[in-house]
Amino acid sequence: MRLLLPFLDGKPMQRRIAWSIMGRSTRPPGRVPAGCGVPLDRTQTPSKTLGILAAIVAAFGLGALADAARGDARIEVRESSWSAGQTPVTVEALVRTWVRGPARRIENQLLGVVSDSAIQATRFVQIDRLDRDSSYFVRPAEAAYIPIAYAGSRAQNRDRAAHFRAAQQAETAPRDTLAPVRVAELGRTRVVAGRECRGYVLDLTFAYRDTALTAGTELVGVLSDTVWIAPAGSPADELTRFERELARTTAADSLFAAGNAVQLAQARGLGLVSVLQRALRDLPGSVLASHFVNLLRGLPRGLSGVERLPDGTAVVQRTVRETTLLDAAALPDSLFVPPPGYRRAERGARAGRGEKAPPPP
């Protein structure tokens, strides 16, 4: 999963642009892209995040594959995310993923951190178990894990999909004014993790207005993703298969299918980037590398911490992903359960909502 990080210390206008366009997990003051709604208004709890992540992975690089599992798979991806700002922010991470049948484990570790304590504090582990209808968020620094049942995300996604359809039938849904995502094959291949991949570029162009600019000024934004896709037959098929099944289990696939582009762009936790990612569902195979950029044309010069292309287009965000390891090694059971001795931590509001606790892993 690509890193989608906020502008932490950019100028106010730059923060508004970045958060509004991408639909981040916290909303700073400011405007949003014309006709594209608002981003999230608070940081998400693990249960809400789970539904959002399931929806995003449902759209990211999911090609046509057989439903049956083929074996265990191990994938390592190096990610680099850069955000513009008064002090530009670059974050490097290593994401390790293991998949076996109905189980997946993801570890996300920041790179470039010097101390062992800092590495431990920033390490993230998530165990997804389709056979338990639950995910488990492991906190190594606290020797604890939090179980999250899929029932809540499933109900929420079905609810939102029904709302999309009802609005369309009542003709109260926003008009689908976004231009279709442009998908073009690059006409060349490159080798990623030992697999020959075909290149594609996907572009989503949109209009953006911000009150910090001169009244009536309109910017043109472009979300562009260059992806390298391995054909069916690599161990990455297992990850793609799992993500499809997770999308079905959480009803995220129904959510993506129900909404028009502007409805998805307005939806909390999705935003414009989900429209671009949805287009990837039609591409066959598995994405092994990608180069995503968030561009703005017409942004006034003189802003610090913003890269410029030769034509003056501003680059306000870049995320690069590259698979560095891909194999089909046999995996031990211990990867898909929290470590022995870890305590089970419940969310404080569970009892108040009358939620049924998920089964132990």
Place 70 in a pLDDT band, splitting at 50, 70 and 90.
Answer: low
Stretch among 49-58, 277-286, 317-326 having the lowest mean pLDDT: 49-58
Confidence check: pLDDT of 274 > 90: no
Amino acid code (one letter) for 244: R
Q: Kindly report the backbone phi and psi dihedral angles of residue 207, in degrees, each rounded to the nearest multiple of 5, phi listed first.
A: -95, 145
Q: Give the domain range for residue 47.
A: 12-176+235-281+324-353
Q: At what angle do helices 46-59 and 151-169 cross, to 10 degrees?
A: 60
123: left (phi over 0), alpha (psi -120 to 50) or beta: beta
The domain tally of the chain equals 1
Any domain includes 202: no
Question: What pLDDT does 231 receive?
Answer: 87
Any domain includes 217: no
Question: What pLDDT does 113 receive?
Answer: 60
Show the CA angle centred on residue 157, arms to residues 130 and 70, nearest 5°. Answer: 30
Confidence check: pLDDT of 331 > 90: yes
Question: What pLDDT does 2 receive?
Answer: 32
Question: What pLDDT does 268 receive?
Answer: 81
Any domain includes 169: yes
Any domain includes 93: yes
Any domain includes 158: yes
Any domain includes 95: yes
Any domain includes 126: yes
**Residue range 288-302, pLDDT digits in tens:** 999 999 998 887 777
Per-residue tokens: 178: 């976004």
Q: How far apart are CA 169 and CA 200, in angstroms?
A: 35
Show the CA angle centred on residue 124, arms to residues 122 and 130, nearest 5°. Answer: 170
